[in-house]
């Protein structure tokens, strides 16, 4: 149970980091995709190291034919919680979590002149 809650927390944490960057982008009229990507990748590596250290022996057996390793379980549950954070943010604010193509094009036109 601790393993599942921890994976859910890591997804929620990643979602909150994405919200922080989106709010930063909107406030400063910028696009910080590179910074967000590097930070999210760093958090992914840290979380995977922690989960490997403590939960590498965990497996989930579904029926008699499917066994999921800790790595797959981590990605499934952390992704689910991340997308829940994304859905709730977009639902409450009406703003997409990632900049649209139109926003990116406007930013490029504005700053590349």
CA distance 61 to 64: 7
pTM of this structure:
0.81
Mean pLDDT of 32-60: 86
What digits encode the pLDDT tens for the residues 64-81?
A: 888 888 888 888 889 999
- Distance CA(10)–CA(4), nearest Å, equals 10
Q: Where are the domains of the chain?
A: 2-111
Q: How confident is the model at residue 87 (pLDDT cuts 50, 70, 90)?
A: very high
The residues, any chain, with a CB within 8 Å of residue 81's CB and separated by 6 or more, are 7, 8, 9, 10, 11, 12, 15
- In a 13 Å sphere around the CA of 106, the CA atoms on its Cβ side amount to 8
Tell me the average pLDDT across 92-99. Answer: 85
55 burial via Cβ count (<10 Å: 0-12, 13-18, 19+) = middle
């Amino acid at each position: 149970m601790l393993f599942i809650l921890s994976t859910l927390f890591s997804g929620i944490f990643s979602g909150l980091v994405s919200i922080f960057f989106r709010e930063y982008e909107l406030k400063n009229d910028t696009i910080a995709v590179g910074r967000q990507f590097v930070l999210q990748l760093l958090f992914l590596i840290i979380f995977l190291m922690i989960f490997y250290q403590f939960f590498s022996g965990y497996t989930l057996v579904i029926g008699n034919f499917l066994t999921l390793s800790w790595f797959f379980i981590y990605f499934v549950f952390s992704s689910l919680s991340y997308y829940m954070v994304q859905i709730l943010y977009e639902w409450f604010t009406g703003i997409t979590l990632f900049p649209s193509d139109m926003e990116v094009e406007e930013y490029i036109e504005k700053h590349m002149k």
